[in-house]
Chain A
Amino acid sequence: MRKIEYNISSGKSIDLKHFLITISMTSLISFLFLYIGIDNIIDTNLNLEEKIDQKKYYDTELQKITENEKIFEERIEKIKIKWNRRVVFANSVINSKVFPFIKLLEHFEEILPDMVQLNEIFMDSSKKGEIVISVNSYSIEKLYELYRKLIDNNLVIAAESENGGVYRSKLRVTLKK
């Protein structure tokens, strides 16, 4: 029996028009990819160069700042060695000078409820607003009203007593100046 031989490509021919369109489209897309790719790389490199220049600028500036900082700090340190003790002294006496005794007294006058009498007040400018007061109250409610008003000032009730309807209380508070 004779073997059948059949070549499928024989007699076939390429559709030239279709082939050319496919080739052109593929080429066009390839060129577009090539263009975008190269442009992307160039663009990135340009940005990178610009940033590298900026980085150099920042590095130089930072170095200058660090050097100047060192010079300034040394200078301040020298001045401080000579003057700091005096500056601390001057600031401390000025702070004592401006301690607001009157303002604190007026504050107590304002918040003291009726039927509560201020018996003693002690203010010390070195104790940062800590004040000791002793009061006499003819009503327990009024005494508690005073406590309520002082509660935000680190109120400490140091002593409390009652004698013949008179309530005595010794308080310590820290008022903001």
Chain B
Amino acid sequence: MKKEVIISNSILMFFAISLVLLLVSFVYSSVKTTSLEDLTEEKQLHEISEKKFATLKNNMKDWDNVEKEYLEFKDGMVLKFEDFSNFRKNLELLISRNLITKKNFRIEYKKALKNEYIKVNISMKLTGNYESFKKLINEIGKIDKIVYFRSVKMTGSESDVRGDFKMEVYLVR
């Protein structure tokens, strides 16, 4: 009888230990899983940093090219000082070809960007009809140099328009 009691006690003890171990393992697992979830956040953080870095890399590439692009702009899009007289002739031709009458023409030269450019402000008072003014604006827009209207004011009826135009031209020496 005593032998059976010892066996049953031992088995009960074994059962209790196994049960405790099982419960402990679940608690351990859940605690560790919570700490693993933090890693998911790190993974996301890493992905965000990688994306941010890729953007920065592209940004740097752009800035590395900036000198080349700027010189292309300066050489290709800015009118040379010696070509300005020719431009003026063409502008007057464009005005007369569109049957626009020139009333007043004022030109003002200024230094721009610490003397790197010369900015020419051209003020024109013109008369003509609405369609011819539209043509003039369109043709100036098509010139592939930095020549543009700063402001356009048109007053009057369709067939008799008074135009007050302000143009800006940039020149490089």
Binding site for B on A (CB under 8 A): 9, 14, 19, 23, 26-27, 29-34, 36-38, 40-41, 43-44, 47-48, 51, 54-55, 58, 61-62, 65-66, 68-69, 72-73, 75-76, 79-80, 83, 85-87, 89-90, 93-94, 96-97, 99, 101-102, 105, 117, 119-126
Contacts and interface: CB of A to CB of B under 8 A. Distances in A.
A44 B32 contact: yes
B107 interface: no
B26 to A, nearest CB: 7
Given A44-B28, A86-B113, A30 B56 contact: no
Contact of A65 (B22, B53, B137): B53
B145 to A, nearest CB: 9
A17 B146 CA distance: 107
B147 to A, nearest CB: 8
Which DSSP category, helix, strand, loop or mixed, fits chain B's interface?
Answer: helix
Contact of B170 (A38, A93, A105): A93
Which DSSP category, helix, strand, loop or mixed, fits chain A's interface?
Answer: helix
B96 interface: no
B15 A58 contact: no
Contact of B18 (A33, A41, A101): A33
A125 B170 contact: no
A36 B22 contact: yes
B14 A96 contact: no
Contacts of A83: 63, 66-67, 70
Contacts of A94: 73, 77, 146
B39 interface: yes
Contact of A96 (B113, B137, B150): B150
Given A102-B134, A123-B153, 8 more contacts: A27-B11, A33-B15, A65-B53, A83-B70, A85-B113, A97-B147, A120-B155, A122-B151
A65 B60 contact: no
B42 A97 contact: no
B148 A55 contact: no
A161 B8 CA distance: 110
A44 to B, nearest CB: 5
A120 B157 CA distance: 9
Nearest to A119: B155
Given A87-B66, A119-B156, A30 B11 contact: yes
B57 A72 contact: yes
Contacts of A34: 17-18, 21-22
B43 interface: yes
A96 B43 contact: no
A55 to B, nearest CB: 6
Nearest to A66: B49
